[in-house]
A and B are shown apart, each in its own frame.
Chain A
Amino acid sequence: MAKASPLSEQERADLVAYLDGELTGEAARALEAKLSLDPAARAEADALRRTWELLDFLPQPQPSLRFTHHTLQRLAPLQADEQRRRQRWCIRCLGLGWVAALLFSAWVGYVGYNWLVPREPGERELLQDLRIIENKRLYDHIEDLDFWRALDAPDLFGEETSNS
């Protein structure tokens, strides 16, 4: 017949914590008092301590050699996905960079050329716009055809007709 434990559940839990060095303060002092006064409790504490000490002699379980291999094998697809995502992102960045570079080149080319090489009109330009160049003296003062027509009034510059 098993002898009744002199320790309550709470006290046993405190004792385990005490042996693990995790019990502090008032609770530790109370347990120490009980152990010094109660031989049965002290016996149980000794039994538990010895059990604890025996655990140190048990063989430590070692992970199998395949464990690392299996883990890495399982991680590999995840790593590949991540790598593919990064590659896609890099390609997109590169594409955007190229588009930006092309636009920038076009802008620099256009602005730069017009700034460095001012257009000097020649005979080709004269032939293309001959009518305008010939009449420029008049066109300069006439902004559009509506304005031109409006000037054609008898009190402005229009011709006088018999019915006006």
Chain B
Amino acid sequence: MVDRSGDGSVHEALLRERALVRAAQQGDTVAFSALVRLHQRRAYAVARAIVGTHEDAEDAAQDGFLHAYRALHRFLPDQAFGAWLHRIVANAALDLTRRRKVRAADELPETVAAPFRDPGEASHLRERLQGALAQLTERQRSVIVLHDVEGFKHAEIGTMLGIPEGTARSDLHHARAHLRRVLGGLRSEL
């Protein structure tokens, strides 16, 4: 996704991004650095939705950018760079999750790590949310965060996670229903 906070229109931003991609494809690392700057927040968010923890999201985002740099010569200019990058970052995050799972299979119960930044909620609410998230499957958790928090569409989520669009839709439905059920009394506590 292109940074739209600047003065230029979306079209201008896209043109600028394409110019950066072309320059980066020709080996211009300054141009690639500008692409990193444009996309790193979103890349981090994609990774975070999949891996769960801030530290792993940071690693996965870095790995994703590195993979993207290596594969830059295969990127076609008529593609959307953001979507292409998000797929790569999602793959890096899924790969990291698999490796972590293999390493920690006998050590840790499935938990959702604490957030990097204090969300400002009462601690018991955070604990309840974490408990409810921990009861979801990893994929359901990724889907609800990518959709409801990051605003990706079902099809985009399906592409990123390597699942059919219908599965993403179904996962979202179940995840929402579960959180609603478990956190049902939340409103009375706010």
- Whether A and B are associated in the same complex: the answer reads no
Q: Footprint of A on B, CB under 8 Å? A: none
Q: Footprint of B on A, CB under 8 Å? A: none
